[in-house]
Structure 1
């Protein structure tokens, strides 16, 4: 039976980074279920790899509920540390999202893989059992183990619910994260239309961003970020069952104007521009390709001149501009980007990523109960926790 100082389970961004950090001083084996590394990493950023978010660390941490847990890992492995690993440059786009200059995820995966020359890699290796003395599949033994098996989304990349049960470590409820939403409404007539810089809300939660209509529902940064809020307040656990959803979200189509502002503007404009047709007037508020759908849904005729719109219809117009509702019936689980939930952080040391229940057992990346919004935040978690786990395991 072969023996190693450290065995790392999972060849995604967290596992690769853990292997890079640990291999500097230890004999490391990286166990990957697939025939290649970084399958999910290749998909990120639409194939361009939104490798991180370049906000200052203090500001970055404000985007996470578990910022105190993440603080040590973020400062232990910064964006500058990450960039220094590559022999090519990165560019920063809107909302501080960072991409490789060449625009290809494969460049990132290749760059990281090149740093694993001192690591033994076993491909097509599915871990099915880990004993208390760290024997894996009765085939190899390690002094320490780092589990970086990811979540449950994108099963084609090797993710599986079974990975949560490789040890007796406590696990929180597992849910979909950063997911498009499936609507009861028929959206085929507006598929491909984008609403820019709107506010989407569900109960007390709201997110500002873009909304994109698909044939089956809603997507875009604003929607998938709000999906995290929705998923967290709904009671379900993917380890047991699928969620049952029947809820309503609202979209504020004019977030920079309140109802009083709109009423004053409408009162003035409807008098001064009385011969203007409603569908033409709304072009200052809505994208052209959305106006007909909007008016049909609130039962107003776009051919009507402004001077002929009574107060009741004016109020209806204002209410729907400020809250245009959609009935949500499901998460689009096939396109869910991350997993919410994972290894319970109450039993993991944030300064080392080591289990407080089983010394020598470490966790990193999406398998942890950590998640953030879209925009490079979740890869930041993976790289920083992966590095800290690898460094801690190699020092111990």
Structure 2
């Protein structure tokens, strides 16, 4: 039976980074169930790979609920450490998102795999069992094991709920994260229409940003980020079944104007610009392609002149500009980007990523109960925890 110092299960960004770190001093094998590495990495950032977020670490940590757990890994493997791996340049876009200058995820994957010299890689290797003495599938043995199998999203990339059963580590509830939302109402008539810089809210959660209408519901950065709050506010566990959803979200279409501001402005403009049709007047507040749908939903005639709009209609217009609602009935799970939940952090050493229950067993990346908003935050988790796990396992 072949024996290795370290076996790493999962060839995604966390697993690859763990292999890079560990292989400097140890005999490492990387086990990947697919015929190639990094399938999910190739999908990130719309195929452009939003590799990380370039905010200062102290500020970056504020975006995570488990910031104290992540602190050591983020400082141990910084963005500067990450960039030094590659022989090409990166560009910074809005909200400090970092992409390869080429705009190609494949360049990032190639840059990482180029650093795997000396690492044994076994493709099409699905791990089905790990014994107490770290024998894997009764075929090979390792002194230490790093599990970086990801979550449950994008099953075509190799992610599976079965991966959580490889060990007896405690697991928190598994949920969809960063997911588009499915609406009760058919939105195919406005599919492709976007709204910029609006505020979307659910209960006490508010997210400002852009949204996009799809054939089945809502997507876009603001919706994707709000979906985390929705998912965490619902009791369900994907290891036991799909969630049942019936809730309402609201969009503030004019977040820079209060209801009082709009009332004052409308009162003045409806007199001064009385012959202007409502659909034309609303162009200063709404995307042109959304106006017709908006007016039909609130039962107002777009061809009516401003001077002919009564007080009741004016109040309805203002109320819907500030709170335009949609009923949500599901997550668009096929497009969910990350997993919420995973290996319980209470039993993981944040300075090494080693299990406190099983010495020599490490975890990295999305398999852990760690997640962040869209914008490079989740790959930051994968690379930093992967590096720390690989380094700690090799030093041990």
Q: TM-score range by the shorter chain?
A: over 0.9
Structure 2 length normalisation: TM-score? 1.00
Aligned residue for 2:61? 61
Alpha-carbon separation, structure 2, partners of 1:8 and 1:143: 11
Q: Deviations over 1:198-240 (max 9, x none)?
A: 0000001010110100111100000010000000010000000
Q: Offset at 1:50?
A: 0.4
User: Which segments of structure 1 move beyond 2 Å, counting only runs of 4 or more?
Assistant: none
Following TM superposition, by how much is the alpha carbon of 1:284 offset from its aligned partner in structure 2, in angstroms? 0.3
Matched residues in 2 for 1:323 and 1:31: separation? 50
Q: CA offset at residue 271 of structure 1?
A: 1.1
| Structure 2 unaligned regions, length at least 5 | none
- Residue 328 (structure 1) shift: 0.4
Render the CA deviation track for 1:330-358: whole Å, top value 9, x for unaligned: 00000001100000000001011000000
Look up the SS of the partner of 1:355 in the other structure.
coil
Show the counterpart of 1:48: 48
Matches of 2:131 and 2:315 in 1, distance apart? 67
TM-score (norm 1): 1.00
3-state SS of paired residue (2:296): helix
Hey, what's the Cα distance between the residues in 1 that align with 2:350 and 2:311? 59
User: Hey, what's the Cα distance between the residues in 2 that align with 1:226 and 1:117?
Assistant: 41
Q: Provide the secondary structure at the position in 2 that maps to 1:349.
A: coil
Alignment map for 1:209-228 (pairs within 5 Å): 209-228=209-228
Q: CA deviation at 1:263?
A: 0.7
Aligned to 2:198: 198
Counterpart position of 1:138: 138
Distance in structure 2 (CA, Å) of the matches to 1:11 and 1:276: 61
Distance 1:150 1:200 in 2: 29
Find the counterpart in structure 1 of residue 328 from structure 2: 328
**1:136 Cα deviation from its structure 2 partner:** 0.4
Within 2, Cα distance between the matches of 1:345 and 1:372? 15
Rounded to whole Å, the distance in 1 between the matches of 2:321 and 2:390 is 51
Shift in Å, 1:295? 0.3
User: C-alpha displacement at 1:189, in angstroms?
Assistant: 1.2
3-state SS of 2:265 partner: helix
1:135 is displaced (CA, Å) by 0.5
Give how far 1:118 is off. Answer: 1.1
Aligned counterparts, 1:75-90, within 5 A: 75-90=75-90
> 1:335-374, aligned counterparts within 5 Å?
335-374=335-374
Question: 2: CA distance between counterparts of 1:316 and 1:2?
Answer: 73
Q: 1:170 offset after TM fit, Å? A: 0.3
CA distance in 2, matches of 1:322, 1:186: 22
List aligned pairs for 1:226-375, cutoff 5 A: 226-375=226-375
Where 1:354 maps in the other structure, the secondary structure is coil
Q: Which whole-Å CA distance do the structure 2 matches of 1:256 and 1:277 have between them?
A: 23
- Paired position in structure 2 for 1:162: 162
- How many pairs align? 396
**Could you tell me how far apart the structure 2 residues matched to 1:191 and 1:78 are?**
40
CA distance in 2, matches of 1:145, 1:256: 52
For residues 121 and 143 of structure 2, what CA distance do their matches in structure 1 show?
Answer: 17
Shift of 1:185: 1.3
Equivalent position of 2:91 in the other structure = 91
SS where residue 385 of structure 1 aligns? Answer: helix
Q: Secondary structure at the match of 2:197?
A: strand
Distance 1:49 1:287 in 2: 29
- Alpha-carbon distance in 2 for matches of 1:314, 1:185: 25
Distance 2:266 2:72 in 1: 53
Query: Aligned partners of 1:124 and 1:267: how far apart in 2?
Result: 68
Whole-Å Cα distance in 1 between the matches of residues 132 and 261 of structure 2?
Answer: 66
RMSD: 0.5
Distance 1:143 1:384 in 2: 22
1:186: Cα distance to partner? Answer: 1.7
Unaligned runs of at least 5 residues, structure 1: none
